[in-house]
Amino acid sequence: MTTTCRLTTTEGSFVADATLFRSIVGALQYVIITRPDIAFSVSRVCQFMHKPSELHFKTVKHILRYLQGTLDYGVKFTKSPKLLLEGYSDASWGSDSDDRRSISGYCVFLGGNPVFWSSKKQQVVSRSTAKAKYRSLAHVTTEMVWLQLLLSELGVSVPAKQREIVIQWLNTILPDLRLPTEASDEELRACLIDGTVLCRILNRLSPSSPNEESSENSSVSQPENVKRFLATMDELGIPRFEGSMKTVVYCLLSLKLHFISSGEELSTLSTITKAESTDDDGSSPGSLQQFFGEEMRNAFPGLKLQCAMHNQVISEPSPAVLKHVGHKFHEVFQLKQACYADLPMTKILEMMESNSLEVNAPTQALLNVVYGILDETAETMNGKIPHHVACLLRKAVQEMGRRLSTQADHLRTVFMLYCCLLQNNLYRAHEEKHRSKIKELEALVSVSRKETKVHELMKQKVKTANSILEEQEVEKQELMKLVRENEKNILELAAMRQELDIVGMVHKFCSLEMEAEAKAAIAILQLKIKELECLLTDSNNKVKELEASFESKCQSWTMKEKIYQSFIDFQSEAMQKLRSSSEAIKQEVLETQKRYSFEFNHLESKLKAVTDAAGNYHEVLKENHKLFSELQDLKGNIRIYCQIRLFLPGQTEKLSTIENISENGQLVIANPSKPGKDGQRSFKFNKVFGPDATQGEVFADIQPFVKSVVDGYNVCIFAYGQTGSGKTYTMTGPTGATEEEWGVNYLALNHLFKVSQDRKSNTVYEVAVQMVEIYNEQVRDLLSSDGSPKRVGITTITQPNGLAVPEACMHPIISTSNVLDLMDIRFKNRAVSATALNARSSRSHNIVTVHVRGRNVKTGTVLYGNLHLIDLAGSERVDRSEVTGHRLREAQHINKSLSSLGDVIFALAKKSPHVPYRNSKLTQVLQSSLEGQAKTIMLVQLNPDATSFSESMSTLKFAERVSGVELGAAQSSKEEKDVRELLEQMASLKDKIAEKDEEIRRLKSLRDLKPRIPQQQQL
């Protein structure tokens, strides 16, 4: 864990497989989220992810041991009452020994909990430690600014900040409250718990709420004040509080925001700012926005306030007015994104009959309703209302709103002028009244003679003047009250007119819409009437047609009745005839019984002859089998012979999958996982050999095909099956085998030598052998002269002598001993290895090709025959054979070539025009044997072990598919002597004709020269 440890890319040997190193380091990168103490070490080893060495791997092991010993360590996040944002940073100068770049480290805490930390190399080389630390400081500052912006965008605010804003607002509207700005939640709860302050807030914000004195001096309990406050919150649509102080703070902030946005704090603002005048600039919503804008942004940073601007043309009523608006219209005005067409008809009728809309509904809200209905109608009509008509209607509504606002401004101006004139007249009347009183006082003073009386009179007059001044003050207050009431009446009158106009427009729009719907309904009904009329005419026509058909059917029924009557009469006559004939039949039956007894006696003699014929049944069956074989030869079917392998020593107690083997070539195998008939499957082949069959019995059925090689036919015999099923044993025999244990290869060659010796007097045979193997899709010669397998190529052109691998060494053989020597060389060079399923598993396809050339001594006919003896490598499942590395690659090539052979067989079975012989070297070698010019035999080898059931099933299914392939009748490759002599005669005749032509041309030239010679002699 020390920073002095130096790691480089050149120390130690490199790891062969870096997958484990990368996965461990990747997991450690997740661990450093809660374990920053290993961040430096993990960052160091992360630099060598591309090519780690043993030293780096050892370092990772040290880190894991450290984690194992410090499982209790880690970063723990705890709750903190203060969400303080802090950042720390540091940097080392030139700590990297390779490129001298510094490593920056910083950590950011929110409320005492680490939320960001990093330790990584700087992008440039710092020239001093101070510069490196400044870069690290810049990194942590960037992270803190980003975190602050993120919290503000998410709307996350510190609860203490919101509480301070609420306390400042309460001190502003209630100056006598004097709460400290840093008051805690407990202090704020103690101030608000009795509900008095809440009622005072409502009294300051809305005059209609309970006043301060009544709430303080009344005997109402504290819960009642809180309930009244909560009821008022419900009426205003503000979320009520319950439980913690966080909800109380949020409720008060919402209340503040509500009255700020609706312009209800005009009186409060005038008290706070101590404004002397009441002009529009001091009480406009714009000044409210300027006054409360900063606090609103601090309290709700993500909230967008929609406040009225100075150029608002239609004035909105106060919340005191909105309080009396009907509940039904309140629901309509709250429909911002909803569909007005979805409102039920009953609710619309209630709103039409209500009287609260005419007085109290906001004008702008009504216009918004009209705009919404127009937009919704234009969308629902789907273009049925022309665009210019919709624009004209919207323009008309906007013009109406503008005129209403203009009229409201004019009325307000006239009312203000009226109030000013009325106030001036009142002042003048009061001044005249005071002057008259003063004159009376002066007269009284001048008339009075005694100071005491004058003094008393002066006191009385002063009292009278004071009473007059008080009356004037009362009159002023009454006048202001009248002015307010008059202004309120004017606003209500304007709202009523606006409501009336809007209702008229809505009614007109609805009437137009209903007229359009009525016209559309009339048109639809007319179309339906026309359709019904057409249906009526069609039905009348059908009635007439039915009447006509009914009459024709009645006539036909009468005709049929007559016919049936005549038929019945005829049948009665026939019955009489049948009675007479039945008597005759009885007589015939009696005579038949007599003949039956006579013939039964005669049958006994014939039955003896049948029993004698049944004795010859088996001979006939053999003849039928022979005829069937000849038919298969004509069709060119591939013969399928199946052989069941013996259980190896030590496997006698294992479960076998072989259920039944019949003599007619039928094989039944059983699925060990499905007992009963459901798990049995039957296959039909040419013949099935049991585990007790010898090599000679197997070769006895193949012998006729081997014999046809000396007659000029191509014969292919290949063994197919899973690895360890006994293919090599069948084809070659065991190591050091006797003549009785010889495989098909030795027996076939031995039989060829015997046949050639028997026909020595008529035909001279030459026999040669090629031995190759296909290993990893490479053809290798096993009989090369240098003693090691040699790679050879495959010809793509059919050779006249049937050679598929012309480059392979061809060894002539005279006797079976030569074959044994060549087989020993082949065994030494062949690729064999051990797997989990077979101790000597063939890792290649072994091909022994015998070329026979015969020449008839008498006729000179030359014939060519080829015998392909193929020991295919066994198909194997990698999960069972447990091969890896080079053996896995061999298994993949073997399975691929066998799959290509299956594709070729499938294409031949479907008689496809294209057969994919070129997909594998194996199919290219077997092309001449599968194209229809050869006789092909397939030896299917089965392992009876129950664990190999799936492999046995796939082998049998493949053999069943191969048995359906028709290659056509095989043809012998003979060159007749007569044909060869005719070709030689044709060549000699062509030479003679050329000589004659040359002689004719020479004679013609001499004839032309003879007349010229006498002429020259005469001269």
Q: Are 165 and 134 in contact (CB under 8 A)?
A: no
Q: Is the pLDDT of residue 472 over 50?
A: yes
Mean pLDDT of 650-664: 75
pLDDT for the residue 271 = 32
Mean pLDDT of 650-665: 75
730 or 219: whose pLDDT is higher?
A: 730
660 or 353: whose pLDDT is higher?
A: 660
Q: What are phi and psi of 72, to 5 degrees?
A: -80, -10
Angle, vertex CA 109, rays to CA 105 and CA 111, nearest 5: 170
Q: What is the mean pLDDT of the chain?
A: 72
For the stretch 355-381, pLDDT in tens is 444 444 555 555 666 666 666 665 565
- Range with the lowest mean pLDDT among 74-83, 103-112, 841-850? 74-83
In a 3-state reduction of DSSP, which class is residue 800? coil
User: In terms of Cα–Cα distance, which of 683, 659, 685, 684 is closest to 670?
Assistant: 659
For the stretch 900-916, pLDDT in tens is 888 888 887 788 888 88
Q: Are 632 and 639 in contact (CB under 8 A)?
A: yes
Q: What are phi and psi of 841, to 5 degrees?
A: -85, 130
What amino acid occupies position 263?
G
For the stretch 218-227, pLDDT in tens is 444 567 888 8
Confidence of residue 280 (pLDDT cuts 50, 70, 90): very low
Q: Pull the structure tokens for residue 702.
A: 């193949």
Q: What is the DSSP letter of 239?
A: P
839 or 231: whose pLDDT is higher?
A: 231
For the stretch 98-155, pLDDT in tens is 778 888 888 888 777 777 778 888 888 887 888 888 888 888 888 877 777 666 666 5
Confidence of residue 232 (pLDDT cuts 50, 70, 90): confident
899 or 205: whose pLDDT is higher?
A: 899
Of 53-57, 110-114, 204-208, 462-466, the range with the highest mean pLDDT is 53-57
Helix 285-299 and helix 159-173, axial crossing angle in degrees, nearest 10:
150
Q: What are phi and psi of 185, to 5 degrees?
A: -65, -35
For the stretch 237-275, pLDDT in tens is 777 777 667 778 778 877 776 665 454 333 333 333 233
Q: Is the pLDDT of residue 751 over 50?
A: yes
Angle, vertex CA 949, rays to CA 945 and CA 952, nearest 5: 95
Q: Is the pLDDT of residue 409 over 80?
A: no
Of 769-778, 812-821, 839-848, the range with the highest mean pLDDT is 769-778
One-character DSSP codes across 609-665? HHHHHHTTHHHHHHHHHHHHHHHHHHHTBPEEEEEEPPPPTT-TTSPB-EEEE-TTS
Q: Is the pLDDT of residue 539 over 60?
A: yes
pLDDT for the residue 264 = 39
According to DSSP, the residues that pair with 511 across neighbouring strands are: none
Q: Pull the structure tokens for residue 692.
A: 């007790």
pLDDT for the residue 387 = 57
pLDDT for the residue 321 = 36
Q: Are 628 and 687 in contact (CB under 8 A)?
A: no
For the stretch 918-974, pLDDT in tens is 888 888 887 877 776 678 888 998 888 888 888 888 888 888 888 877 766 555 655
